[in-house]
Amino acid sequence: MDDRGCSVRLEPLANASPGRVLGVTLAALGLAFVLVGAVFVAYGQNPLEVYRIMLTGTLLDAKGWQEILRRSIPLLLIGVGLTLAFRTQFYNIGAEGQLLLGAVLAAGVALFVPLPAPLSLPAMALAGALGGALWCGLAAWLRLRFSVNEILSTLMLNYVAQSLVIFLINGPWRGKDVRGYIYSDRFAEYQQIPVWAGSSVHWPTLLLGVLLALVLQFVLFRTTLGFRMRIVGENPGAARYLGIAQGRVLLLLALITGGMAGLAGVGEIAGIHHRLIEPSQLSSGYGFTAIIVAWLARGHPALVLLTAPLMGLVLAGGDLLKVSLNMPFRIVDIFSGVILFCLIGSELFLRYRVRWGR
């Protein structure tokens, strides 16, 4: 065991400067693009050509921009909530299920609760937020009451939510005029969120997401509630010492993050699909992709305004690859996975300085 050759040593880094954080993050993203490029090569495509198609088809194209925005809306809403949750060390990876529950409750209101037209959409939004919040609140309650790890409970609740949606659209909520398909009846015109003409960008939801990102940024850094959240998240021992009711903060936080995911579900069904449909078509994994969005934002809800469109771009670009290069859409999952992998790996370079010895 001779280590006299080339050696690498890690020296702890006291404080990573914002510049270093940015540099390391960009480097991690760059590496991810190189690695995914290797997958393209294995698929018989020139990676440069693939990236060119992805970029020109999205950034240099009006339709492409609309696609990016449409994809960014749920990522923004969920990502902001998750940023807050991760910051407080509540590892919610059940946003997918919370989105579905939001969609279920909103659809329930749309289909079965007779309301005056102007009240219908607000009621759907409220019901959706409530659905997501309760689904996440359940996991938080389990953690507080029985110390159930929320990573497992939120993950498992995803599958319950999926099965619930499938059960509903196969059974009690199945539409009257759908023939062989399984989905609910179509929502009435006034139950649909308005979109920009000719696109499926449901702008009220987008606006709501932007507003919530800014509001939560303010709450976190400028209010006593946010101060409490930060203490609980950054040092639970100190929270106990100071007598801060950690359970209450955690529960509130779970309700916020779940509620945001629920709102994303409302946006998807009331803005795009206009009926309750199969879980895989309803969401295409926004709840998981948003984990990357939140991770990239590093605890700052307002930064999600940048990171959500970035992942929106990846998703929209993946759609293009399916159409123009006939690649399987799951290439997007590989993208997301490799990006998250590189980001988590890059944490090392934020905590340590690497020195190469002789």
Partner 1 sequence: MPALLELKNITKRFPGVVANDGVSLEVYPGEVLALLGENGAGKSTLISILYGLYRPDEGEIWMEGRPVRIASPMDALRLGIGLVPQHPTLVGRHTVAENLALGIGSPLWPAQRIVPLVERIAQGYGLQIDPRAPVFQLSPGEKQRVEIVRALLRGAKVLILDEPTSVLTPQEAEALFRVMRELRAAGKSLIFISHKLEEVLSIADRCTVLRRGRVVGSLQREEASKPRLAELMVGRSVSFERKRQSASLGEVVLEVDGLRARSHRNLPALQGVSFRLHRGEILGLAGVAGNGQSELVEVLAGLRSIEAGSVRLLGQPLPPQPARLFDMGVAHIPEDRIQMGTVPSMNVAENLALRTFDRPPWARGGLLNPRAFEEEARRQVQAYAIATPSLRTPSRLLSGGNIQKVILARELAGQPQLILAVHPTYGLDIGATEQVHRVLLEKTQQGAAVLLISEDLEELLSLSDRIGVLYRGALQGPFAVEEVSREAIGLWMTGGAA
Interface with partner 1 by CB under 8 A: which residues? Answer: 1, 3-4, 7, 14-15, 221-228, 230-231, 234-235, 237-238, 240-244, 357
**What is the C-alpha to C-alpha distance for residues 30 and 99, in angstroms, rounded to an integer?**
30
What phi and psi values does residue 249 have, to the nearest 5 degrees?
-60, -45
What DSSP element (H or E) covers 262? helix 246-268
Closest separation between CB of residue 252 and partner 1, Å? Answer: 14
**What is the C-alpha to C-alpha distance for residues 69 and 321, in angstroms, rounded to an integer?**
18
**Radius of gyration for the chain, computed over Cα atoms and rounded to the nearest angstrom:** 22
Residue 356 · residue 6 · CB < 8 Å: yes
The smaller minimum CB distance to partner 1, of residues 181 and 218, is found at 218
Distance of CA 131 to CAs 10, 211, 258, 290, 291, Å? Answer: 46, 21, 8, 19, 20
Q: How does DSSP classify residue 44?
A: T
Residue 244 · residue 231 · CB < 8 Å: yes
Distance of CA 305 to CAs 103, 282, 290, 293, 314, Å? Answer: 23, 23, 12, 9, 15
Residue 168 · residue 301 · CB < 8 Å: no
Closest separation between CB of residue 130 and partner 1, Å? Answer: 24
CA-based torsion, 240, 245, 247, 253: positive or negative: negative
The smaller minimum CB distance to partner 1, of residues 33 and 227, is found at 227
Closest separation between CB of residue 7 and partner 1, Å? Answer: 7
Which residue's structure tokens are 């970029």? 55
Q: How does DSSP classify residue 6?
A: S
Closest separation between CB of residue 233 and partner 1, Å? Answer: 9
The smaller minimum CB distance to partner 1, of residues 121 and 294, is found at 294
Closest separation between CB of residue 242 and partner 1, Å? Answer: 6
The smaller minimum CB distance to partner 1, of residues 4 and 145, is found at 4
Residue 321 · residue 331 · CB < 8 Å: yes
The smaller minimum CB distance to partner 1, of residues 3 and 177, is found at 3
The smaller minimum CB distance to partner 1, of residues 245 and 323, is found at 245
The smaller minimum CB distance to partner 1, of residues 231 and 264, is found at 231
CA-based torsion, 335, 337, 340, 346: positive or negative: negative
The smaller minimum CB distance to partner 1, of residues 52 and 240, is found at 240
Closest separation between CB of residue 8 and partner 1, Å? Answer: 12
The smaller minimum CB distance to partner 1, of residues 89 and 200, is found at 89
Closest separation between CB of residue 136 and partner 1, Å? Answer: 24
Dig out the tokens for 197 from the structure: 């003409």
Closest separation between CB of residue 345 and partner 1, Å? Answer: 22
Residue 249 · residue 228 · CB < 8 Å: yes
Closest separation between CB of residue 80 and partner 1, Å? Answer: 20
Residue 157 · residue 113 · CB < 8 Å: no
What residues contact 167, with CB distance under 8 A and at least 6 apart?
none
